[in-house]
Structure formats: C-alpha cells, structure tokens
Amino acid sequence: MSNDKSILLGAVAYDPKVVTIWEGIREHFQSEGVPMDFALFSNYERQVQELLKGHIDIAWNTPLAHVRVRQRTNGESISLGMRDSDRDFHAKVIVRQGAGISSLKDLEGKTVAVGSSDSTQARILPLYFLAQEGVDLSRVNVVTFDTDPGKHGDTGTSEIDVLRALHEGQADAGTLGDLVWVNEQAAGHVDSARVEVLWTTPGFDHCMFDAHPQLSPEKIEAFKRALFAMSWENPKHRRLLELEGLREWLPPREDGYRSLEAALKTK
Amino acid sequence: MITEVAVIAVDGGELPLGGGLLALVRPALDQLQPGGILAVLSKSRAVREDLASWCRAQRHEYLGAEETADGSDRHLISRGRFSVPLNPHAEKSGLESHEGRLTAAEVLKVAPMPSYADPISGFAPRGAQVEPGGPSYPFTLNERDRVAPAEVAVLYDQAVSAQWDATADIPWSKVKPLPADLERALIQVMTFLAENELSALYLPSRFIAKIHPAYAEVAMFLATQLADEARHIDVFLKRARLCGRGLGISSVTTSRSLLSLLQIEDFTEAAFLLSVLGEGTFLDLLSFIERHAPDEATAELIRRARNDESRHVHFGLAHVRAGLAADPNLYGRLESAVRKRAATLHGINGVPAPLQDALTILAAGSTQARAVAKGHDAFRELLETMHLNRVRRLGNAGFTPAQAQIISELHTPNFM
C-alpha cells in the first residue's frame, strides 16, 4: 500500500471517457483537500490482483470484481460506496415477437443471445436466475457475444449486440441489463413490433469501491467525505456523474451480491 | 418546503414503454413536484416489466401496480427529486393582444425581468423551467438596474415600427447637381457622419454578448439600434457618392475620438458616452444639417436618421437614470470616464477642421464672403446649442447643474 499521503485509486479503462471522469474526480478531491491519484488497468483481474498486493489503495470494481475481492480477503476488504444506479439492478429477458416464447420454459430449444462471459447483468446472473426458475439451460442454445473480455460488461457493447441479434432475427431471445434496455427504448432505438420484454430477474447490486483491508482510517474517511460531497446540482460534478452514470453516491451494502456469490459457486 | 402532493393520471392504452408511452409519462411527471404521484393506466403486459426499470433509471419511485375493474393495470409513480423543478416564478396570467396588436411592453407585464439573473440559465428564455446543473455562461451584465431600464420594451416596440428602407424611402430621384464647393462640403459632412455612425454600430455590439438573456429586450433594442446605424451609414454614403466626387477626409481627431469610445469596457459608461453625450450631441448636428440641407432628399434622410438617433438617446438616458437611481457612486464613475476620455484626447483643439469648414459652407449655401460669415455664425451658434442641450440632458439624467456644466465642457470636440 502506498505510504504517501495521497490515495491511489484503481479503475479499469474500458472507454476513453474513464480518463475524463477520474481527472475530474481527482480535481474535485483536491479541492476538498483530499490528495488522490489514479492508476488505470486494462482489465479487472489485474486490478483486483494489484489491490490485494496493496499496490493500489482502492479499486472501483464491478460486482464480479467486488465479490472476488470479498472472497479473497475473507470479507476483510472495506466497501466504501456505490452509485445510486448500482442498487437494485435487474437483468431482462427480451424475446423476438413471433419466436413462440410466452413463458420462460419456452426458452428451451430456442437460441438465446447473451452478453460477455464476464458480464454480471448480461450473462452470469440472467442465466443463473433462469436456471433457478427451472429452465434447463442444457436445452437452450446459448450464443455469447463475448466482446471486451476483462471489462466485465462495462462497455455495454455486448448488450447492444444482443439487441441487434434479436432485431435481425439471429436469436429468439436475449439477456441484458435493465438500464441498457430502458435507455435504448427511451432513445427510440427499439422496435416494439419486433422485440419485447418477457421477464425481469430479481434485483442485485452492481459496482463498489473496495479498499484494501489495511487502508488507514484517515484515508477511508477522507475518501468518503470527498466522494459524498459530489452533487448533481453542481455543474462541474454533474458532468462527471453523467459520464459515470449516477446521480448520487450512496453508502455500501453487501446483501445485493448474494445472488452473484451463489451463481459463481454453481459454475 | 412545499408539501403539496398532486396526483395526475395518464392513459397509456396498449403503448409499450419504447413505443410512445414515455411521451405521455415524462411530460406528466414534469407537472408534479418531487413526491407527487402519477397514475399510469396501461393494458400493455410489457409495461409491467419495464415501467419499474425506467423509474429506476430516472430516479422516480415506482410504487407498484393494481388491476382496475376493466382489466387494465394502474401503475403508480412518485416523481423523483432529480427532475426539472417546477418554476417558482411561473407566469400567472396569459398574454393578451389589444386591438390586434401585441407589444413587447405587454410581454414585459406578463413576464417581468428579474432583479438578478443567474448565468447558469444560459440562453433559456426568461420564464422557462430551467434544469439545474447546466454550465455557467459568460454573461456579466446580469443585474437589471445596470442593464435594463423599465422603458426598454416600449422603446423596442417603437424602434421596430419605425424601421425604414434606405433603398426606397428617400426621394433619391430629386437629388440634383450642386455647385462644386457646396457638393464638396456635403460630401465631407456625409463622410464624417458615416465614420461616426460606424463607431455607433460597433460599440453596442461589443456589449450584446455580455447581456444576460433574462434581459433580452435590451439586446433586442440594441439590435434595432445596430440596424438603424447600418441604415444611416448606407444613406450617408449613398448621398455622398451621388455627387460623383468620391468621399471626403477622415481626420485623426475623429479617429482618436472614436477609438477612445470603442475602448470603453463598461456598458453603462459606453451608453453614457455614446448615447447620452455623443448621439445627444448628434441630434443638434443633424437638426443643423437638415435645416441647411441643399435638397429634399438630403433633408429627408437626415430627418429620418435624427428620429432614430433620438430613440437611442432616450434609451441611453433611461439606462443611465436607472443606474444612477440604483447606485449613487455611478455619478463619480461616469464623470471620471468622461475625464479619462478627455485626457486621451488632450491637445485636440476644436472640431475637426474639414468638418467645421464643411458645416460653415453648408450653412452659408455658397462661398460668397457674406454668406460664409453667416455660415460661420450659424456654426458657432450650433456649438452653443449643443452645449446647452447637453447640460439640459445631463440634468434630465440626474446630474447637478455644476456637474452637467463640467461634463459638457469635457465632451469630445468630435461631437461623437
């Protein structure tokens, strides 16, 4: 862990905007009297490794990375905060109109498009929940759009791929996160005559700031103080919050990761 | 804190979320305070899955659904706190036309200008519901007392209906050749007028971009002022060129005087020096030229220009009066601006010679010695009239007779 006074945060560079976001947040932290710097990784596996080695103080983690950090520190890592949008995430099962699917059981024998193999919302949890609902996945022809491996579905590219496959008739059904689904609808990108929602999975939580178990209480308090001082009404903050996909930072909670923990065990 | 909770209902029929339902839901939510309840009636099965997700994405609270007697779903949504807030200054009454006319002054009654305007509202028209968190705009003129006198809407209405056509509204066909000396004098006068009006076109344009759009009527009035100046430049130069001898002299005195005007950074100081002192003085100059105009066309174009200029003077006076009423220190600032400008023009003694001679000959109507003597007297009388009227105007603006006397005497010999 870094001994200097500044907090070193890790984030995964899944898009060029990540630089803008963390440059802006660093500037905000500095204005709050909290020196902070960031290191960008190309994938979450490496980021988790470096956090566990203490090379970075805090990691901005996907749910998959968060659950791994919890497991590998025996629950001693310190969760610091999450986005409002990280709470009560859901996945959706979308079907092509005319594919003859009116219940989850009908998915058996059909082609189902799913997102990246490490995407919580577009693959891991929807398939887990479908199995929980009694769908025999061995009878489902699962087609994976495995874009951006290591990014844990952050780019959303695989979810857009799933939607396109449905529109183009390459799949009968597909799974994706609720935010991409409603945002694509709200933007007018979904043809309601061709695809519609069949089912919504139970809720789960998404990203989390994970701190190394030995991070000093001073740095933890300073980080939280600066983070929670960001406000949607502040034009400078708002731009960063928009880019990061939230309206406000919220305190951490762990219950929302139980389903993912269970899903990883069944794998 | 407003605790009023309104309830609104929309009937979405079978519309899916991404198939038009949001066009009903979003505007309905915009009419509610945070915490207000929207009921969405729907026969769409997909909406059961999607509405809660959309609420999550938009930070509204989805309260659940119940089935109605006809088998529809009745979804309830509580408006979240991150949407565009209702306008606390929403207009209470509608606009009404009178005898088929709808004036800017009537608009001002319905939507009064705020005493202060927030740069965050950007180009949002006054009265619009502004979403918070937008970027800050570089509008530095954002206090009503320093920018927007109450008379501005009436002056704007007058300006719009008083626009005229420099191509066709002047009896150009009545221009006849004049004796050469008189023509040269007329060319010189027109050249001088056009040069000064060019500065009057450029100076206000520097401030328009700094005026907060909450005071748009001021920018709109200034736009008419710019259009006026453009037309004046046009007619003055046309009249000069009808003589067929090109243009006259541009003197260093005029050039220095106009540069010192263009370099003023403060809007009120600029309004004072340009409109109250400069254009005010021009009213007397234009009266003089109209009185001694050698033909009907010249008299007509000068008369029209003078009408426009008197509106500019009126606005400048209103602007300065409002500023003085709000800030007694403004007297000192304006006097010091006049002194500062006079210092930069130090050493310039009297009206630019080419103009003085041209005005004398124009008033004389010929180059005969006796006529020229009369022309010279008329010119001296003009200077005295300009001074007396400046003092009177400064008195109207709120200056004491002693202050008015000093300021008038310090005014540029270039008139503008």
Least Cα separation, residue A6 to chain B (angstroms) = 29
* CATH number of residue A172's parent domain: 3.40.190.10
For residues A183 and A211, state if they share a domain.
Answer: no
Question: Is residue A183 included in any domain, yes or no?
Answer: yes
A83 contacts A207 by C-beta, under 8 angstroms: yes
pTM: 0.84
Please check whether residue A84 touches B, CB under 8 A.
yes
Q: Which residues of B306-323 are buried (b: 16+ CB within 10 A; e: fewer)?
A: bebbebbbbbbbbbbbbb
Could you state, in order of their start, the residue ranges of all structural domains in chain B? Answer: 7-78, 144-410
* H or E element that contains A58: strand A58-61
For residues A190 and A122, state if they share a domain.
Answer: yes
Residue A153: give the domain boundaries: 91-200
Kindly identify which residue of chain B lies nearest to residue A231, measuring between CA atoms: B133
For residues A150 and A243, state if they share a domain.
Answer: no
Residues in B touching A192 (Cβ below 8 Å): 16, 18-19, 46
Kindly identify which residue of chain B lies nearest to residue A198, measuring between CA atoms: B46
Please check whether residue B53 touches A, CB under 8 A.
yes
For residues A111 and A156, state if they share a domain.
Answer: yes
φ, ψ dihedrals at A41, nearest 5° = -110, 160
- Provide the terminal-to-terminal Cα distance of chain A, rounded to the nearest Å: 33
A128 contacts A263 by C-beta, under 8 angstroms: yes
Question: Is residue A114 included in any domain, yes or no?
Answer: yes
For the stretch A93-111, pLDDT in tens is 999 999 999 999 999 999 9
Whether A235 and B17 lie within 8 Å, measured CB to CB: no
Question: Is residue A267 included in any domain, yes or no?
Answer: no
Least Cα separation, residue B25 to chain A (angstroms) = 11
For residues A68 and A160, state if they share a domain.
Answer: no
For residues A123 and A188, state if they share a domain.
Answer: yes
Whether A190 and B59 lie within 8 Å, measured CB to CB: no
Whether A186 and B18 lie within 8 Å, measured CB to CB: yes
Cα A92 to Cα A89, A198, B11, B57, distances in angstroms: 10, 7, 25, 14
Question: Is residue A263 included in any domain, yes or no?
Answer: no
Give me the number of domains chain A comprises: 2
For residues A209 and A194, state if they share a domain.
Answer: no
Whether B17 and A199 lie within 8 Å, measured CB to CB: no
CA angle, B330 as apex, B327 and B331 as ends, to 5°? 120
Question: Is residue A265 included in any domain, yes or no?
Answer: no
Cα B97 to Cα B39, B103, B105, B151, B156, distances in angstroms: 38, 8, 11, 19, 17
Six token digits for residue A48:
């988790």
For residues A182 and A247, state if they share a domain.
Answer: no
Is the confidence metric ipTM above 0.90 for this complex?
A: yes
The CATH number for B7-78, chosen from 1.10.287.1080, 3.60.21.10, 3.30.110.40, 3.40.47.10, is 3.30.110.40
Residues in A touching B134 (Cβ below 8 Å): 235
In terms of Cα–Cα distance, which of A4, A11, A20, A18 is closest to A58? A11
Whether A92 and B120 lie within 8 Å, measured CB to CB: no
Residues in A touching B22 (Cβ below 8 Å): 185-186
pLDDT at res. B363: 98
For residues A116 and A171, state if they share a domain.
Answer: yes
Question: Is residue A23 included in any domain, yes or no?
Answer: yes
| Stretch 151-180 of chain A: residues touching chain B, C-beta under 8 Å | 178-179
For residues A212 and A191, state if they share a domain.
Answer: no
Kindly identify which residue of chain B lies nearest to residue A92, measuring between CA atoms: B49
Whether B53 and A200 lie within 8 Å, measured CB to CB: yes
For residues A113 and A181, state if they share a domain.
Answer: yes
Least Cα separation, residue B38 to chain A (angstroms) = 18
Six token digits for residue B121:
């509202």
For residues A151 and A213, state if they share a domain.
Answer: no
- pLDDT tens digit at each of 416 positions of chain B: 444 556 899 999 999 999 999 999 999 999 999 999 999 999 999 999 999 999 999 999 999 999 999 999 999 999 999 888 887 777 877 899 999 999 999 999 999 999 999 999 999 999 998 888 889 999 999 999 999 999 999 999 999 999 999 999 999 999 999 999 999 999 999 999 999 999 999 999 999 999 999 999 999 999 999 999 999 999 999 999 999 999 999 999 999 999 999 999 999 999 999 999 999 999 999 999 999 999 999 999 999 999 999 999 999 999 999 999 999 999 999 999 999 999 988 887 789 999 999 999 999 999 999 999 999 999 999 999 999 999 999 999 989 999 999 999 999 999 99
For chain B, helix (H) and strand (E) counts, in that order, are: 15, 4
For the stretch A46-65, pLDDT in tens is 999 999 999 999 999 999 99
Domain boundary among A181, A200, A219: A200
Determine what percent of chain A is predicted with pLDDT higher than 90.
94
- Provide the terminal-to-terminal Cα distance of chain B, rounded to the nearest Å: 55
Nearest to B133 among A186, A198, A234 (CB): A234
Residues in B touching A186 (Cβ below 8 Å): 17-18, 22, 54, 57
Cα(B69)–Cα(A45) distance, rounded to whole angstroms?
54
Nearest to B49 among A184, A197, A233 (CB): A197
Please check whether residue B27 touches A, CB under 8 A.
no
In terms of Cα–Cα distance, which of B197, B214, B225, B195 is closest to B137? B214
Question: Is residue A262 included in any domain, yes or no?
Answer: no
Please check whether residue B125 touches A, CB under 8 A.
no
Question: Is residue A259 included in any domain, yes or no?
Answer: no
Kindly identify which residue of chain B lies nearest to residue A184, measuring between CA atoms: B18
Residues in B touching A84 (Cβ below 8 Å): 59
Whether A182 and B53 lie within 8 Å, measured CB to CB: yes
In terms of Cα–Cα distance, which of A131, A174, A154, A169 is closest to A263? A131
Kindly identify which residue of chain B lies nearest to residue A192, measuring between CA atoms: B19
Kindly identify which residue of chain A lies nearest to residue B16, measuring between CA atoms: A192
B354 contacts B249 by C-beta, under 8 angstroms: yes
Determine the residue among A159, A176, A185 to mutate to test chain B binding: the one whose Cβ has the most chain B Cβ atoms within 10 Å.
Answer: A185
Whether B18 and A188 lie within 8 Å, measured CB to CB: yes
Cα(B80)–Cα(B99) distance, rounded to whole angstroms?
45
- Is CATH 3.40.47.10 the right assignment for the domain spanning B144-410? no
Domain boundary among A155, A185, A200: A200
What letter does residue A219 receive in the DSSP assignment?
A: H
Nearest to B18 among A185, A198, A234 (CB): A185
